[in-house]
Structures are given as C-alpha cells and as structure tokens.
Structure 1
Amino acid sequence: MAHLILLVEDNEANRVLLKDILALTGNEVLEAVNGEAAVQLAQEQKPQLIFMDLQLPGIDGIKATKILKQNPSTRDIPIVAVSSYAYAREKQLFLAAGGNVYLSKPIDVDLILATVSRFLP
C-alpha cells in the first residue's frame, strides 16, 4: 500500500532530487515550497511522513514543525528535517519543536530511503 509523503523544500533542484528519491519508495509525494503551504497541506491531506527543509520563506521549517506538532490532527505525523545547516542549535530547536529526525545536506540517498523505511514499513 502506498503512503503519502509531504516534501517541503523551496529550492527547486533539491525538491526535484528529493522527490525522485522518494518516488523510488513507491509512495505518493506531495510538494510544498514554504511553511504556510506545508501546514495547510498537512492539515488537509494528512500525510504519513513529512520531509521538511528548515530554511524556508515565510514560516520556517522549525515553526511549521511546531505548529503541526501542536495540532491534534497532525501531531503524530513524523517530521524529518533536511537542512543544509548542520548547526547544533538548529538541530536542538527542531527537535524541541517536536521533530523526529534531523538529516544534513548534502542529500544521502541511502539515508533518505532508510528513513522512509523506518517510518513507513
């Protein structure tokens, strides 16, 4: 059974790459380019997993994660950060907001696939 994954990434090249990797899992992928759209799509579509860039225009990925984790209808959706900034403070803020896993760019295909398998067996 295919699952629904929400991919939140404002950089088109990164979004295309991640979408292609996620497509290898056989799951359906929704896309958002900012935090506002991510929150709206997650609340409407209820994906089973979210990959969230943290550096986004408008609402950033940390704030979007916090909003989703505070909402009873989306709080149980696992959120995986994919960020080009490997700063300890950013990771701490994301995890404190309720995020589940923090991955650093550059994108590691095997790690992305293993993360999907971890949350969507």
Structure 2
Amino acid sequence: MPSPASHPPTIVVAEDNAEQRSLYVAVLSGVGYRVVEAADGAEAVDIVRRERPGLVLMDVTMPGTSGWNAVRTLKQDIDTRGIPIIVVTGLASAWDRDASMASGCDEYLAKPVPPVRLIEEVKKFLPL
C-alpha cells in the first residue's frame, strides 16, 4: 500500500470552458498533480469542501456562482480558508485584478497563461 506521502497533491480546476479546463488538466496532471474538475463556482465550492485540495485554480466568469463569489465563500469557511486560490481569467484590467484580490484569492493570472507560467505559479503554492 502506498504511503500518504506518495499521493500527488490535488488541485481543483474550476473553469466553465471545457476546452480550457481540459488544457489545465493536461498541463497540471502532466507534471504530477492530481486534478479534479469543476464546471462552475457552486460545483467548485462543493468539491473543495469534500476533497480539501492543496490548491484551487478558479475562473471568474462562470454560470451560476461566479468565481469571485466562490472564492469569497471558500475564504470565509474556516475549513477551506487556508487553501490557496489562483484566479485565472480573461478579465485583464487593473479593476479586475483588484476585484479578484479583494475577493480573497491568493494570486491573479490573466488569460492566456502559457503552460510554463501556470506550472511556475502553481508550484509557488503547491510544490511537488
């Protein structure tokens, strides 16, 4: 039986665009992370509460619960507030960055994010 230390760190990827989500999954699982997918903010919150991942990659503009609302919900929950959240969004203005940081995220990346940069940013919070 493998030891707990041999289990790869888990990342929840919350992105409503299936193609973009698949790209993140391929990049992150390709370097050794376990990736769990969510298609909207509400699903992301449910999965994070259940899985207790090491990191969340969160889009902002999603149907239903926005990424910003999902971030706020997770950061207000005593059980999930310590989980780092990186917002990855096509909203690239200074206002969008400020709003993302105000929601409680730990880092903000404007799309498109090259795979090498995505891996670098993720490893800052969740080393392999």
- Name the structure 2 match of 1:82: 88
Per the normalisation by structure 1, the TM-score is: 0.96
- Name the structure 1 match of 2:48: 42
Per-residue deviation, 1:107: 2.2
- Name the structure 2 match of 1:111: 117
Higher-Rg member (1/2):
2
- List, as ranges, runs of 4+ consecutive aligned residues in structure 1 with deviation greater than 4 Å: none
For residues 113 and 122 of structure 2, what CA distance do their matches in structure 1 show?
14
Code of the residue aligned with 1:97 in structure 2: it is S
> Which runs of 5 or more residues in structure 1 are unaligned?
none
The SS at the match of 1:42 is helix
For residues 41 and 75 of structure 1, what CA distance do their matches in structure 2 show?
14
- For 1:1-121, list aligned pairs within 5 A: 1=6, 2-121=8-127
Per the normalisation by structure 2, the TM-score is: 0.91
Code of the residue aligned with 1:17 in structure 2: it is L
Q: CA RMSD in A?
A: 0.9
For residues 72 and 93 of structure 1, what CA distance do their matches in structure 2 show?
22
The SS at the match of 2:82 is coil
Code of the residue aligned with 1:99 in structure 2: it is C
For residues 91 and 98 of structure 2, what CA distance do their matches in structure 1 show?
12
For residues 110 and 103 of structure 2, what CA distance do their matches in structure 1 show?
17
Alignment coverage as a number of residue pairs: 121
